[in-house]
Structure 1
Amino acid sequence: MVARKSLYYSVFSALLMWVLLASQSASAWERLRRDAPERYEVVAGDTLWDISARYLHSPWQWPSLWQANPQIRNPHLIYPGDVLILGACQGQPCLSVERGQEVVKLSPQMRTVPKREAITPIPMEVVHAFLREHRVVEPGASLQELAYVVGGDDQRLISGAGDTLYVRGDVPPRGRLGIYRPGEPYMAADGTLLGEELINIGEARYLSSEGDIARIEVLTANQEVRNNDILLPLAERELSEAFVPRAPLNSVAGQIVAVPGGVRFIGRLQVVALDLGTQDGLQPGHVLRVDQQGELVTDPRTQELLRLPNTEAGLVMVFRPYNHMSYALVMQASRVLAVGDRVSTPTR
């Protein structure tokens, strides 16, 4: 009797496991678009997000396609000319890759393979252009303690490229300096300071100093340099292009707190500031869903004010997280987004 119960239990467990695996496999195939191509040749200008959107309803689920395939361990190593082939790996959808050769014959004695640039996760030129112009000072680092312009030659109040300025404060004698002007402080809904925006005005180099006053030369200026503008060593502008679109491992919830540049309405490929950062578990490449709050309506029978359910409105990808906030790029927008819209871990 005991042996029979044990047999029943084993059969039941095996059946349960089979059903579970079958359902997981089915859900994996359901993530694929019906029009997903069996073969796709990567072309110059593609991004990982673009290619993901050809195969998946939710492009941030891209790792579910390539992780099972040892040929695509790192999706950022997909190049123009490569051909992606959709197939199955142990019952799960996966992609294999045929490497493009792109061999150019220069002479009977010599040939070369031209250097190829791997495709990027998102339009990196948009991100790099933004990071050249914007920087965040973390809470606790007072702007009042940073070096600042106190005057120019011949008592100039406004200066430009080629002019000499005088700066008071700690100015490093080596390396290029960034000239910045304070922007808007980033605030959480409860009034907590998340960070202070600095807008790049130009670049300068150290010449000499006497006491706490330094002489600098303005090298470039995209706006006039004024007294009280801030001097800082140029921020490291290198940004890893190896990150891939994926959901955060933990559940997060926050909101869009600002749009750098003062834009009121937000669309695709615009940058937004979020009230979530590394302390919340965010990393470059994390994708968040954007929801807009439902409208208030009046119940026609009871005259009560009712809040309609939230509506999914888009997706953003984090590219530069700080401790308490992050910059993210809008990747999809089915509706016009706005400051105050909620962001959270995507669920599908």
Structure 2
Amino acid sequence: MHDKRNHLTALARSRATALGAMVLGLGLAALAPAAQAQGYPVTATQRATAQQVAARGVPLAELAPNAPDTYVVQRGDTLWAISGLYLKRPWRWPELWGMNLQAIANPHLIYPGQTLYLEKVDGYARLSTSRGGGAGETVRVSPRTRYESLADAALPTVKMHLIEPFLVQPLVVDELALAQAPRIIATRDKRVIMANGDRAYVRGPQGNPLAMTPETPRQYRVFRNAVPLRDPETGLVLGYEAQYVGRAELARGESLEQTTKDGREAVTDIVPATVDLTGVKEEVRIGDRLLPAPQRSLVNYAPHAPQGPVQASVMSIYGSGASASAGQNQVITINRGSADGMDAGMVLQLRTGGERIRDKTDEDRTMVRLPSEPNGLAMVFLTFERVSYALILQAERDVVVGDRLVNPE
């Protein structure tokens, strides 16, 4: 188990490093061939934009009003936050990429402790890691980095702990598939709820016991319920969202065992499978279901505006419980998916739904709907066919079900 947890940690670090490499594009010219070789797509438009900007810099009008002349990268920073520090529209990462094209040859060179210098010449601006746009500063690492590569310290796109659980969880599931999945039937110590390190006993569906075979997965995710996701615009069910509660590792498969007592006829008993629980997010309960853990896949999280017009709505607040609203760093479900052109990294503008009120100044007390107003930004990070999950990057007011998502201005 210890080795497997180390393996998962290494995977998470490599994902964060990959995200840092793509987002906000610090160094397109040197990175593009390597990026394509590693499967990180760089479109022709993005490359052309970065190269054009690199030739002269970014117009001063594109800079954020309080863009600092110097900034020391801090531990805990994200590339999205730094982009927002310098650009009015952080999702326009090719511009920032171009600003760094000469001075920062590789995005893996952006680490805590480095100083960024903003240079303004003839109405344009560039960003560099050294005054005058030289070769850049040398990054010194401590002896402990023999256990941890320098790339592990590179800045991630966003705070990865906010979305990391979603990257390995099939949240939108088929209701029938969940109902037929193996289920927890008992615990070793007759506990009602279970936590990390507990052992539980599991049975597969009738006719399909959870046997320990070479083809049987060993790693599972534990889910509860399957709540329908209804489109707030049409009322149609677009999918079923299962509540993720933790992970489980198959220790022993389901079997049959014959016993005899006092010379009586042999009795065949069903012996359930055994699983060990880890990474429990909420208390695991009897009746919870197991689904095989999906393979991790490297995703390009480069923030970008949609290619075409988008009209979407907030469908639910993930993990909201009794809360009916969400704020910054929370996850929302939206009623558009891959079939509608949604993809990872897409940045959308949040807008209020437009509250309906009664006009008390009107003798007839007419009902009116207030205009929809901008309320922040959200980034899509996980898509299913008709449903997507997005992280709220910033929000001025509470985000509620029915709020709109459109192209960023």
Name the TM-score, length of structure 1 as normaliser.
0.76
- Structure 1's 336 and 75: CA in aligned 2 closer, same or farther, altered over 3 A? farther
Give the letter aligned to residue 168 of structure 1: G
> Which one of the candidate residues 390, 396, 399 is aligned to 1:328?
390
1:143 and 2:205 are equivalent in the alignment? no
Identical-residue share of aligned pairs (%): 31
Does 2:163 match 1:118?
A: no
Deviations 1:133-167 (A, max 9, x none): x542345863223222345669x584644434131
Q: Does 2:113 correspond to 1:53?
A: no
Q: Is the 8 Å Cα contact of residues 285 and 317 (structure 1) preserved in structure 2?
A: yes
3-state SS of 1:327 partner:
strand
Partner of 1:246: 304
Deviates more, 1:46-55 or 1:192-201: 192-201
Looking at structure 1, the residues matched to 255 and 359 of structure 2 have their Cα atoms a distance apart, in angstroms, of 70
Secondary structure of 2:400 counterpart: coil
Contact 1:247 1:346 in 2 (8 A): yes
CA deviation after TM superposition for structure 1 residue 183, in Å: 4.7
**Residue 205 and residue 270 in structure 1: after superposition, are their counterparts in 2 closer, same or farther (change >3 A)?**
same
Structure 1 residue 60, shift from structure 2 partner: 1.7
1:39 maps to: 70
| Residues 1:302 and 1:88: Cα distance change in structure 2 (over 3 Å) | farther
Contact 2:166–2:382 (CA under 8 A) maintained in structure 1 = no
| Residue from 217, 226, 229 that aligns with 1:186 | 229
* Structure 1: distance between partners of 2:138 and 2:99: 24
- Alpha-carbon separation, structure 1, partners of 2:221 and 2:90: 37
CA drift of 1:168 comes to 1.4
Structure 1 window deviating more from structure 2 (33-42 vs 161-170): it is 161-170
Displacement of 1:270 in angstroms is 1.0
Contact 1:66–1:94 (Cα < 8 Å) also in 2: no
**Kept in 2: contact 1:180–1:202 (CA 8 A):** no
In the alignment, is residue 166 of structure 1 matched against residue 209 of structure 2? no
User: Partner of 2:353 in structure 1?
Assistant: 293
Q: Does 1:204 align with 2:235?
A: no
Aligned-residue offset at 1:328: 1.2
Tell me, in whole angstroms, the C-alpha distance in 1 between the residues paired with 2:354 and 2:347: 22
Residue 118 of structure 2 corresponds to 86
Which stretches of structure 1, 4 residues or longer, exceed 6 Å deviation after superposition?
88-91
Aligned-residue Cα RMSD (Å) equals 3.7
| Alignment partners' CA distance in 2, 1:147 and 1:234 | 13
What's the offset of the Cα at 1:244? Answer: 2.5
Decide which structure has the larger Cα Rg and report it: 1
> Distance between the aligned counterparts of 1:202 and 1:340, measured in 2?
32
The residue correspondences of 1:259-274 to structure 2 (distance < 5 A) are 259-262=317-320, 263-274=323-334
Aligned mates of 2:126, 2:141 — CA distance in 1: 31
After alignment, is 278-287 or 61-70 more displaced? Answer: 61-70
Matching residue of 1:14:
none
Gaps of 5+ in 2: 1-51, 131-135, 257-269
Q: Which residue of 1 aligns with 2:405?
A: 343
C-alpha distance after superposition, 1:91-141 (max 9, x if no partner) = 7544344444233688xxxx9x97251111111122224557x54234586
SS of aligned partner of 1:331: strand
Q: Which has the higher strand share?
A: 1
1:235 to 274, 284, 294: 294
* 1:267 CA displacement: 1.2
In structure 2, relative to structure 1, the CA distance for the partners of 1:222 and 1:114 (3 Å cut) is: closer
Is the aligned partner of 1:65 residue 2:82?
A: no
TM-score, length basis structure 2: 0.66
